[in-house]
Amino acid sequence: MITTDVLSEGQNLQDAHIILNYDLPWAIIRLIQRAGRVDRIGQKAEQIICYSFLPEDGIEAIINLRRRLTQRIEENANVVGSDETFLMVTL
């Protein structure tokens, strides 16, 4: 299924276990909500896997998106706690 951010809220998608983000939102809660759509009662997968496309290195050097998102995720986890792992960068 391919969708816009419309399905990141208010839908139960527990039959899926993989999320593919073509964009990374500025608000961390959007990433959490996207993952939350599939991490629902009835989910049978042991892991929910989120893949994200990241900007090319030249653009990344200008906007520092990965660093800023990682910082926001860490700050959020420090305040409310979290056992999820977001933005594990693999090359």
Tens digit of each residue's pLDDT (9 = 90 or more) over 37-64 = 888 889 999 988 888 777 676 776 667 7
The answer to the question of residue 14 being in a domain is yes
How many whole angstroms separate alpha carbon 82 and alpha carbon 67?
Answer: 19
Task: Name the residue range of residue 9's domain.
Answer: 5-80
Q: Is residue 45 part of a domain?
A: yes
SS3 content of the chain, % helix, strand, coil (to 5): 40, 10, 50
pLDDT computed for residue 11 by the predictor: 81
- How high is the pLDDT of residue 40? 86
Residue 71 lies in a domain: yes
* Beta-carbon contacts of residue 55 (< 8 Å; ≥ 6 apart): 63, 65
Residue 76, domain member (yes or no): yes
Q: For the chain, how many structural domains are there in total? A: 1
Question: With contact defined as beta carbons under 8 Å apart, do 48 and 39 qualify?
Answer: yes
pLDDT digits (tens, 9 = 90+) for 1-32: 677 777 777 788 888 888 888 777 777 778 77
> pLDDT band at residue 91, thresholds of 50, 70 and 90?
very low
User: What's 41's DSSP letter?
Assistant: T
Is pTM beyond 0.85? Reply is no
